[in-house]
Amino acid sequence: MKRVRCPKCDNFITFDETKYKSGQRLVFQCPQCGKEFGIRIGVSRLRKTQKEENRTPAAAEQENEFGSLHVIENVFHFRQVIPLQMGENVIGRYMKGNSINCPIETVDPSVDMTHCTVTVSRDKHGRLRYVLRDGPSYTGTFVDNEILGDRERRVIEGGTLFTIGATSIILHTPEED
């Protein structure tokens, strides 16, 4: 199964690509906004973006320098890996124009636009430290099946599973890899 995103409202449309030949053109109508748009099955003729062309192995390693969040696949979306940066990493549902820096592509209505924050810093020994706090959100943020209270901060480590809405996320740190 493949997914395409509506260029107008960012809604995902899923279809079975095995029923079509390479080079065939498909036209979709978004059930959410009614926009009609077309795609061509097969390899894109577009060249890589400048960022992808200039990417070195060192740059790829540096992208994961502060760890990453692995969003576990559920009924709302596919597995995603979101790299973390030093400072505040605001996590929430992806929506066009939303200014968060860790967007999760999902239609899960229980994930808020700005659901929670993971703050990455260094302790006095130079080790990375991860602190999770709720947004505040409507459905809450859960760590080890305990809900975080308002303004509560929880130090989390590599391998920690936390849940926002119906979506589970695992923190991966560079020390683990």
CATH number at residue 136: 2.60.200.20
* Block residue for tokens 């200039």: 54
Q: Is the pLDDT of residue 153 over 90?
A: yes
The predicted pLDDT at position 59 comes to: 46
Average pLDDT over residues 91-114: 86
Structural domain includes residue 46: no
Number of C-beta neighbours around residue 146 at 10 A: 11
Binned at pLDDT 50, 70 and 90, residue 77 comes out as: low
pLDDT of 29 strictly over 50: yes
Q: Which is higher by pLDDT, 63 or 39?
A: 39
User: pLDDT tier at 51 (50, 70, 90 boundaries)?
Assistant: very low
Rounded Cα distance between 170 and 163, Å, is 9
- The letter for the amino acid at 27 is V
Confidence band for 76, pLDDT divided at 50, 70 and 90: low
Domain extent at residue 106: 58-172
Is residue 48, in this structure, part of any structural domain at all?
no
Residues 86 and 137 in one domain: yes
Instruction: Output the pTM of the full model.
Output: 0.64
Q: How high is the mean pLDDT of the chain? A: 83
Instruction: Please tell me the total count of domains within the chain.
Output: 2
Same domain, 164 and 83: yes
- Domain presence at residue 82: yes
Q: Are 57 and 33 contacting, i.e. CB atoms less than 8 angstroms apart?
A: no
